[in-house]
A and B are shown apart, each in its own frame.
Chain A
């Protein structure tokens, strides 16, 4: 399956993404508890769970953007900091100021910065290859006619596609997508899924966050998350009524009660 990859010295270097015992807390409250999972190349995994389940937090922890209490993340057998160019991230679209003075093309080209390392990351200028890749990403997402538009003039679906194009032209091996389907039109949803199919064929690994279950059938693997992994596996096996109730139940677990008690005692 991984014919394109170099033969690897260690066994884990074939695993695109692996976490072990990842725990994150915020202001004394646990957000993620001992999350361990492993993704294989060429698959689409969906993280599904209620609001506040720590879905976005998990992506940020994987990217090393927030401090973790315990655990480790490995990308192709080594640390994230050594593999930045190989991991692309698409945050939720309300995370930026859409009045910022940049055009569609400007934003997409920003994705190429991720491929630069060391001093190039700071002082590098876009070259012909960067320009080419940005155009290809624009075309693939049907944005090439909007290249010179200001990002404020786009619809919600188009804005989402700009973010995807930015990640796409990074030519990463792993993509983390945070709620890419929220607030987009049906056409954009189709574009996104056909892009994902394309990426899977290129043995890329995709981890997608979603708060609703309607995308279940499109997933190779589902992770039911409610601050811990409730269940993970092929959707037809894992998305059982019982598991879903556990995930979305909203009932305080004993651990939560103990934690609240500890907070009071302090």
Chain B
């Protein structure tokens, strides 16, 4: 970083991010982000999040031993060591939980911490003159990315993505229903270890970008965000890859400007995307759903006010000609005065009622809507007593809620054979002319 700062050119500083070196680092991170995102879909769906974390830690002894043998951080040596350690983790975890009563998450915890500990001891016991940068391994350092690393990622990432694409159908089938997939002859165990291997390889490729501690975030977070947005696996993988790549590029850019650690910045970006999706997803977002509930509640309150108004003025031959005051309405409609003011203003805009001085009256379409409500209420009451065994004195409360589903009123009417009176003996009005 110091060298970069020394070269800092104030006239062209905003062009700085587009230097060759920045490109190298960013392309690297983006490749890793996309691959982690796509592969992460299987990790999330197969509930292997913990094993993703485990793999990233467990590759340490493999990496250190490879370093001991080759005496440098040559990428292919590291990759081989890490792959071995990754597959060893998967095999050990499987063996321990199969051969004993140890639960799978516990065996994962035991295996990866043990391997990681061995790795730390190995690092401390390295012969003189060899320096292994544990810090870079733990926290990542994209600035240490060189052409060889870029080459490694340029090989691994397309390879992994290609395998995931080619094996899409058997992988999907064995992730959804491993037992039936096995019965079909799909080699589910081989596919499981293949996924583990690809995950280890991706983790190693991503080592220098985020470090082992945070790389699991690039695997799980974009995939979880995508999972909330779609009902199709293919779409989920596309979105997840996009989120992963986006987090990497955005994280790199921001960290360049602010001088924050780039791995951490990427992860924070990924988490931000997840949070936004969690809140705003069009179907399942927490905020979206609460707004929806609020809209429905307002709709119901509005209809209650219309009905109350109608009850006050219906005794007259020409309901449109009669009015009543706010004080009469809001207690009867079970809303507060302030809510009533707001709702009345809204209904006025919709043309369902009108105001003259302090008084409120129904317009013609307001009367129609109110009749629809009354009709729906009484039909529901009839339906509930006849078909759901609700007694006549309890039926009102339930119908009070159901009446707002007035789209079904005509169906009920037909189903009940066009009854004329509800269980309380009140007349069920015919549907208003304008609405049918």
Q: Which residues of A contact B (CB under 8 A)?
A: 60, 63, 65, 81, 84, 87, 89, 91, 95-97, 100-103, 106-107, 110, 113-114, 117, 121-126, 150, 152, 166, 170
Contact = CB atoms under 8 A, between A and B. Distances in A.
B180 interface: yes
B172 interface: yes
Interface string B192-206: 000000000000000
Contact of A101 (B169, B179, B186, B236): B236
A122 B187 CA distance: 9
Q: Is the interface of B mostly helix, strand, loop or mixed?
A: helix
A121 B184 contact: yes
Contacts of B230: 101
Contacts of A124: 169
Contacts of A96: 176-177
Contacts of A95: 177, 179
B184 A100 contact: no
B185 A117 contact: yes
B402 interface: no
B17 to A, nearest CB: 36
Interface of B: 45, 166-167, 169-170, 172-173, 175-177, 179-187, 227, 230-233, 235-236
B173 A110 contact: yes
Q: Specify which of B167, B181, B185, B227 lies most central, judged by the most chain A CB atoms within 10 Å of its CB.
A: B185
Nearest to B175: A100
A122 B167 contact: yes
Contact of A113 (B45, B169, B232): B169
Q: Specify which of A84, A100, A123 lies most central, judged by the most chain B CB atoms within 10 Å of its CB.
A: A100
Contacts, number: 80
Contacts of B181: 113
A59 to B, nearest CB: 9
A182 B408 CA distance: 32
Nearest to A107: B176
10 contacts: A63-B182, A63-B183, A65-B179, A101-B231, A101-B232, A102-B172, A102-B176, A110-B176, A121-B170, A125-B169
Contacts of A126: 169
Q: What 10 pairs across the A-B complex have the smallest Cβ distances? A: A114-B184, A84-B185, A150-B231, A89-B183, A63-B183, A110-B173, A101-B233, A96-B177, A100-B176, A101-B236
Given A89-B180, A121-B184, 13 more contacts: A63-B183, A65-B182, A91-B177, A95-B179, A100-B45, A101-B231, A102-B231, A106-B232, A110-B172, A122-B170, A122-B187, A123-B167, A170-B184
B188 to A, nearest CB: 10
Contacts of B169: 110, 113, 124-126
Contacts of A100: 45, 175-176, 233
Contacts of A102: 172, 176, 231-233
A58 B173 CA distance: 23
A121 B176 contact: no
Contacts of A89: 179-180, 183
Contacts of A122: 166-167, 170, 186-187
B184 A84 contact: yes
B185 A121 contact: yes
A87 B183 CA distance: 8
Contacts of B227: 101
A124 to B, nearest CB: 7
Contact of A97 (B173, B176, B232, B235): B176
